[in-house]
Amino acid sequence: MSTPFRVDLDDLRFVLFEQLRIDETLQRVDRYKELDRDLYDATLEEGAKIAKEVLHPVNRPGDLEGCTLDGDGNVTTPKGYKDAWRRMAEGGWIAPTAPPELGGGGLPAVMAMALNDMFIGAATAFMMYPGLTAAAGRMAQAHAPEALRALVAGKLFAGQWAGTMCLTEAGAGSSVGDNRAKATPTDEPGVYELEGEKIFISGGDHDLAENIIHFVLARTPGAPAGTKGLSLFLVPKFMFDEKTGALGERNGAKVVGIEHKMGIHGSSTCVLALGSDRPCKGWIVGEECEGIRLMFQMMNEARIGVAAQGESMAAAAYGYAVQYAAERVQGTDIREYKNPEAPRVTIDRHPDVRRMLMTLKVHAETMRAAMLRLAMNFDMSEQLDDEADRKRLFGRVELLTPVLKSHCTDTGFEMAVTAVQVYGGYGYIAEFPVEQLVRDAKIQSIYEGTNGIQAMDLLGRKMRMEGGALFMGWMQEGQKLVAEAKAAGLAAADAVGKAIGQLGAAAMHLSKLAAGGKIAEAFYMAVPFQSAFGIVVCALEALDQARIAKAKIDAGDERPLLRGKLRNLEFYTAHVLPKAVAFAKTVQSADASALDESLFP
């Protein structure tokens, strides 16, 4: 017996249409003014079917089978992947936000995020391929050489071709500036020959699409050391006709090994040799030495994508656990402890199991809201008329990207573990879906910039942008919501307000440390600061949802979902929010013990 995969359409609808009200908000911009609630609803309904009928069936077989590599550098994906890819591609689900003029569905990012909420948890490893392909499509659309732009972007969006991003090398992972791959100009303008070896390339080869487009960082002759000297190249698996896209000969980007991993077995993680057995050609993207800036566009998108993975893992973990706990009979009601005849009950009657289910519920639901809000802000930052508004919202996205990448992936993993705990012994057994969830989730706090790197980005860049105005703006908006919630009679608002204050004090402390030259001491506290930040961001979502729910309940709406939102806020305030306050204290503790040079000599 296993547990069916569940999607939470009711909660998705609550966030999209009652909390964020995307149907009203997005109709204000030209690009989305024809989209309405009906269309969004139909998309969600159909997306749920895709998750359950197309994606989920390949999740466990893909985990068991994994990918294989033959002697010619060809990767075979698990059985069923090709069919799932074909159905995703036919339905236009590979890149739901792709512009209609390039054959896409033209959905806003917030709807793509809602689809990801369902899709990723359904088949985590499989969804890496469409995720990277869509991101590569947008990269091609924005920056590929003019002559190739529409062709390559269109093929990627349609899922005829697939995409990757190639940064990491054996000596250059988190430290991308140590990249050594070389790119030498050829006689053909804009075309280079690449040499080197990239590792950990997700989707580096596979049998899902007819061609693969790699976006590769490499160094041109005479380029400066570090990230400043990196250029970006579009490197196809097969050369192609620039007009028709007809495939030509094999290019010299060849997989020479695949990794055997803890999880996401269905995703091929490749060692990609460039120019090892035949010349490897690539078109330069942008200008020489512009690579890192352009690649960061894809990186930022990928970081948001990984945050979405974490969120979706929590959603899936909650879905499994709550269904299992409602069926699994074990023990008697604790209040009947004196009664030997007491009937056996399902485990969701036990207080500690209920505590775990509530932990899963509040994290899944608050992260969902935070991620959908991030995506909607991204949409508005691209589409609003007013430049100041666009800039403000984009700044918000930039500020919260590392915070949510780390919070959602750390929490997503923790929730997968919590789901195993709810299952008890059976959770540890491969027959049930939650142990795979744990293995699949762990990578998310590591790739696309480890959560430690995210914290450095947060502290070193995002907090300092515009003299700290991004953070201040976020705090002000948070306090405004706190005031509104308080006026609406939500007692928990005070605690959230205090936590924002504590976070502000921690930020102040860190900036003093840095100003005083104590750079190592400040970065030593980057992760605790980031952890506190993530918890408070989601506390604001719990507060906002409770505020909306309360108004509806007061107006006579009796849906249990609304009552659940009030309970979420109570639970979050009692069980989760104190952790933010504790982290803020850690940040301000003056501890520097681990920096003692005599340790770890």
Partner 1 sequence: MKILVTVKRIPDPDEPLKFSGGVLDTSAVKWVPNTFDEYAMETALRLAEHVGGSQRLAEVIVMSICPAGQRQHVTQFLAMGGDRAVVVDHDDRALDAQTVAEAIAAVWKRESCDLLIAGKLAQDMEGNEVAQRAAALLGLPQATFAATVAWDREAGSLTVGREVDDGVESKKIPLPAVVSVDLRVVLPHSVKNGATPDDHAYQEGPRLASLRGITMAKRKKVDVVSLADLGVEAKNTSPIVHAEPPPPRPPGQIVESVDELVEKLATEAKVL
CA 473 to chain centroid: 24
> Of the candidates 93, 126, 320, 572, which one interacts with partner 1 according to CB under 8 A?
93
Answer yes or no whether residue 49 interacts with partner 1 by CB under 8 A: yes
CA 284 to chain centroid: 28
Query: Taking contact as CB under 8 A, which single stretch among the options 21-29, 84-92, 333-341, 566-574 is the one that binds partner 1?
Result: 84-92
Is residue 448 flagged as an active site residue? yes
Answer yes or no whether residue 107 interacts with partner 1 by CB under 8 A: yes
Answer yes or no whether residue 329 interacts with partner 1 by CB under 8 A: no
Helix (H) or strand (E) holding 213: strand 211-219
Answer yes or no whether residue 427 interacts with partner 1 by CB under 8 A: no
How many Å apart are CA 179 and CA 182, to the nearest integer? 9
Q: How far apart are the first and last CA of the chain?
A: 51
Residue closer to partner 1 (CB basis): 45 or 70 = 45
Residue closer to partner 1 (CB basis): 103 or 185 = 103
Nearest to 485 by CA among 268, 477, 313: 477
- One of 448, 477, 484, 558 is an active-site residue; which one? 448
Answer yes or no whether residue 90 interacts with partner 1 by CB under 8 A: yes
Answer yes or no whether residue 4 interacts with partner 1 by CB under 8 A: no
Answer yes or no whether residue 50 interacts with partner 1 by CB under 8 A: yes
Residue closer to partner 1 (CB basis): 36 or 352 = 36
Cross-strand bridge partners of residue 257: 271
> Of the candidates 2, 24, 28, 46, which one interacts with partner 1 according to CB under 8 A?
46
- DSSP per-residue letters across 222-287: TPPSSGGGEEEEEEESEEE-TTT--EEEEPSEEEEEE---SS-TTS-EEEEEESSSS-EEEEEESS
Query: Taking contact as CB under 8 A, which single stretch among the options 92-100, 132-140, 496-504, 532-540 is the one that binds partner 1?
Result: 92-100
How many Å apart are CA 169 and CA 271, to the nearest integer? 9
Answer yes or no whether residue 327 interacts with partner 1 by CB under 8 A: no
Residue closer to partner 1 (CB basis): 100 or 489 = 100
Helix (H) or strand (E) holding 546: helix 526-554
Answer yes or no whether residue 45 interacts with partner 1 by CB under 8 A: yes
Answer yes or no whether residue 100 interacts with partner 1 by CB under 8 A: yes
Contact in structure between 233 and 216 (CB atoms under 8 Å): yes
Query: Measured from the CB of residue 161, what is the shortest distance to partner 1 in angstroms?
Result: 18
Residue closer to partner 1 (CB basis): 107 or 218 = 107
Phi-psi sector, 160: left (phi>0), alpha (psi -120 to 50), beta: alpha
**Triad 166, 393, 587: Cα angle to 5°:** 75
How many Å apart are CA 432 and CA 5, to the nearest integer? 11
Answer yes or no whether residue 43 interacts with partner 1 by CB under 8 A: yes
Answer yes or no whether residue 119 interacts with partner 1 by CB under 8 A: no
Query: Measured from the CB of residue 209, what is the shortest distance to partner 1 in angstroms?
Result: 18
**Three-state secondary-structure class, residue 206:** coil
**Triad 11, 14, 18: Cα angle to 5°:** 170
Answer yes or no whether residue 96 interacts with partner 1 by CB under 8 A: yes
Query: Measured from the CB of residue 93, what is the shortest distance to partner 1 in angstroms?
Result: 6
Number of residues that bind partner 1 (CB under 8 A): 25
Query: Measured from the CB of residue 343, what is the shortest distance to partner 1 in angstroms?
Result: 11
Query: Measured from the CB of residue 269, what is the shortest distance to partner 1 in angstroms?
Result: 29
Answer yes or no whether residue 38 interacts with partner 1 by CB under 8 A: yes
Query: Measured from the CB of residue 516, what is the shortest distance to partner 1 in angstroms?
Result: 54
The strand pair at 280-285 and 191-202 is best described as antiparallel
Phi, psi of 167 (to 5 degrees): -110, -50
Return the number of other C-beta atoms located less than 10 Å from residue 231's C-beta.
24
The strand pair at 191-202 and 75-76 is best described as unpaired
> Of the candidates 24, 36, 277, 494, which one interacts with partner 1 according to CB under 8 A?
36
Query: Measured from the CB of residue 149, what is the shortest distance to partner 1 in angstroms?
Result: 21
Helix, strand and coil percent figures for the chain, each rounded to 5: 60, 15, 25
Query: Measured from the CB of residue 380, what is the shortest distance to partner 1 in angstroms?
Result: 21
Angle between helices 560-571 and 351-383 (to 10 degrees): 100
447-466 residues near partner 1, rule: CB under 8 A = none
Query: Taking contact as CB under 8 A, which single stretch among the options 37-45, 359-367, 414-422, 531-539 is the one that binds partner 1?
Result: 37-45
Contact in structure between 413 and 445 (CB atoms under 8 Å): yes
Retrieve residue 434's tokens: 């939650």
Residue closer to partner 1 (CB basis): 38 or 146 = 38
Nearest to 462 by CA among 404, 382, 509: 404
Residue closer to partner 1 (CB basis): 41 or 398 = 41
Residue closer to partner 1 (CB basis): 91 or 424 = 91
> Of the candidates 106, 130, 131, 305, which one interacts with partner 1 according to CB under 8 A?
106
531-550 residues near partner 1, rule: CB under 8 A = none
How many Å apart are CA 483 and CA 186, to the nearest integer? 63
Residue closer to partner 1 (CB basis): 111 or 546 = 111
Query: Taking contact as CB under 8 A, which single stretch among the options 45-53, 187-195, 240-248, 282-290 is the one that binds partner 1?
Result: 45-53
Query: Taking contact as CB under 8 A, which single stretch among the options 102-110, 132-140, 428-436, 583-591 is the one that binds partner 1?
Result: 102-110
How many Å apart are CA 53 and CA 408, to the nearest integer? 26
Query: Taking contact as CB under 8 A, which single stretch among the options 50-58, 186-194, 391-399, 587-595 is the one that binds partner 1?
Result: 50-58
Return the number of other C-beta atoms located less than 10 Å from residue 230's C-beta.
28
Answer yes or no whether residue 87 interacts with partner 1 by CB under 8 A: yes
CA 515 to chain centroid: 33
Query: Taking contact as CB under 8 A, which single stretch among the options 48-56, 215-223, 406-414, 536-544 is the one that binds partner 1?
Result: 48-56
What is the contact surface with partner 1 in residues (CB under 8 A)?
A: 34, 36, 38-39, 41-43, 45-46, 49-50, 53-54, 87, 90-93, 96, 100, 103-107
Q: Which sequence positions are flagged as catalytic?
A: 448
